[in-house]
Structure 1
Amino acid sequence: MGYLHVVVYFILAAVSAQDVKYYLEGQDIRLVPYIVGKPNVIVWTHGGDDVVIWEWSMEQRVFPPYDNRIILDRASAELTIKNATYEDSGDYDLEVLINKWMPHFRYRIEVIDKVSKPNISCEMSDAKQATLVCSTESKHPHLLEFKWSSRGNEQTAPNLTITVENDDVYCCEVSNPLTNETASFNAKDCFPDER
């Protein structure tokens, strides 16, 4: 019994560990399955809700909110969703009937925003030390990565500690899986009285 649970766990883990494919809001989402043969039935769902159903003997049925937003290739079962919204994120499942063969495909999609230009602020710790804070607006903060660079040195964190003797220019790069933006800051602006 324990062995069966372990096998089932690993099968479920393999399915759920599927890579996420990212798209920017407003882009077209293309889901391209690899199938051999001409489909008799195509069923696409999103989070368990129907997106489009097509049978060779019937008209194609498209379900809200996908009316006028999808293109279904009936020969390949490829699905294109126009003008992606954040609500289009999630799991898309495809079931295709080709003669007696019924393959199943799953695509994990996340629609994200572009990184906006970061803002750098200086917070004084004491008379000789300060912290540079790099921040940006995002609907998906968990996907953001921060990188500071100066004179060939790099550090990955949203905050960076500097000292009063330092007058370097620091660049902060903020990125998500699809876009990035940078801003720069002169350390001497943290310590105007020392100059």
Structure 2
Amino acid sequence: MAQHVLVYFMTSLILVSAQDVKYFLKGQDIHLMPSISEQPTGILWLHNKNDVVLSTAFKDHVPSSYKNRITLDRVSAELTIKNATYEDSGVYLLGMNINNKRNTFQCTIEVIDKVSKPNISCEMSDTKQATLVCSTESKHPHLLKFKWSSPGKEQTGPNLTISVRNEDDDQVYRCDVSNPLTNETASFTAKDCFLGKRSDALQIFGISCYCIMVIIVCCLLYIIHQHLKGKETQHDKGQNI
């Protein structure tokens, strides 16, 4: 019986026009609910043309890959998928038999991650101008939106060019990163652009000091070695006399 119903729906399902993508966070439950007025007598849910659940008057048929992960409401035809994974993204197609009439419903979903805390770096182009770069890790970078804000000014995009007055410039710039479901914010003070330069200078100074110390130590060891070698030579000459 299940096979006959499956064939029935597979031959009757017609792709409807594309709909807006619905987003769900990884680890949360996915709820797909069609708008129907009466209880269907047969239900078939497909994911990327692969069956998810086939419900007939007798029982529900669920593939092993979806065992213990899905719940089907026979009255509303709502499909719930527990603990969403990235692999659950794609096109879902529903075929229903309502009053001996074939009905279809389609939706496209994408499972995404939360936005992680952004990182802001500064690239000095000269002593008065710099570029702030806002970045964050994501498996879905195409969904990220960046917005910079400072008093009286807003700009979209990951990069922001600023004017730096001096090393005491306390102007604060905020970068807001968002995807369709979550957002995170980080702040940066203009004077922090000079921290990198100071750090680089200190690092170069430290390396230079280290190299000088190594050279001095090597020279001292060489002098000591030569001095000891000279004493040994004199001692050997004294014994030979």
- Name the counterpart of 2:56: 55
Distance in 2 of aligned mates of 1:77 and 1:49: 18
Identical pairs, percent? 67
Please state which structure has a larger fraction of its residues in strand: 1
Alignment of 1:91-170 (within 5 A): 91-165=91-165, 167-170=170-173
Q: Which has the larger radius of gyration?
A: 2
- Name the counterpart of 1:27: 28
Distance in 2 of aligned mates of 1:37 and 1:116: 43
TM-score (norm 1): 0.88
* Match status 1:173 vs 2:202: no
- Name the counterpart of 1:87: 87
Aligned-pair CA distance for 1:59: 1.7
Question: Is the deviation greater in 28-37 or in 134-143?
Answer: 28-37
Distance in 1 of aligned mates of 2:191 and 2:32: 51
CA contact (8 A) 1:164 1:191 kept: no
After superposition, give the CA deviation of every residue in 1:134-182 in whole Å (9 maximum; x if it has no partner): 0000000000000011113110010001122154100100000000000
* Match status 1:183 vs 2:182: no
Distance in 2 of aligned mates of 1:38 and 1:143: 37
Q: Mind listing any 5+ residue stretches in structure 2 that lack a counterpart?
A: 1-14, 199-241
Runs of 4+ in 1 over 2 A off after TM superposition: 191-194
After superposition, give the CA deviation of every residue in 1:1-43 in whole Å (9 maximum; x if it has no partner): xxxxxxxxxxx8x812x11110000111111111122211100
Aligned-pair CA distance for 1:89: 0.4
- Higher RCO structure, 1 or 2 (CA under 8 Å, sep 6+): 1
Distance in 2 of aligned mates of 1:188 and 1:27: 41
Please state which structure has a larger fraction of its residues in helix: 2
From 15, 18, 22, the equivalent of 2:17 is 15
Letter in 2 for 1:66: Y
Alignment of 1:35-74 (within 5 A): 35-56=36-57, 58-74=58-74
Letter in 2 for 1:184: S
TM-score (norm 2): 0.71
Letter in 2 for 1:15: S
Distance in 2 of aligned mates of 1:51 and 1:82: 13
SS in 1 for 2:40: coil
Distance in 2 of aligned mates of 1:112 and 1:34: 25
Distance in 1 of aligned mates of 2:146 and 2:109: 23
**Structure 1 residues 163, 191: closer, same or farther in 2, change over 3 A?**
farther
Distance in 1 of aligned mates of 2:73 and 2:26: 23
Distance in 1 of aligned mates of 2:160 and 2:64: 47
SS in 1 for 2:31: strand
CA contact (8 A) 1:51 1:64 kept: no
After superposition, give the CA deviation of every residue in 1:67-92 in whole Å (9 maximum; x if it has no partner): 10001001111111111001000110
Question: Is the deviation greater in 98-107 or in 58-67?
Answer: 58-67
Distance in 1 of aligned mates of 2:85 and 2:25: 8
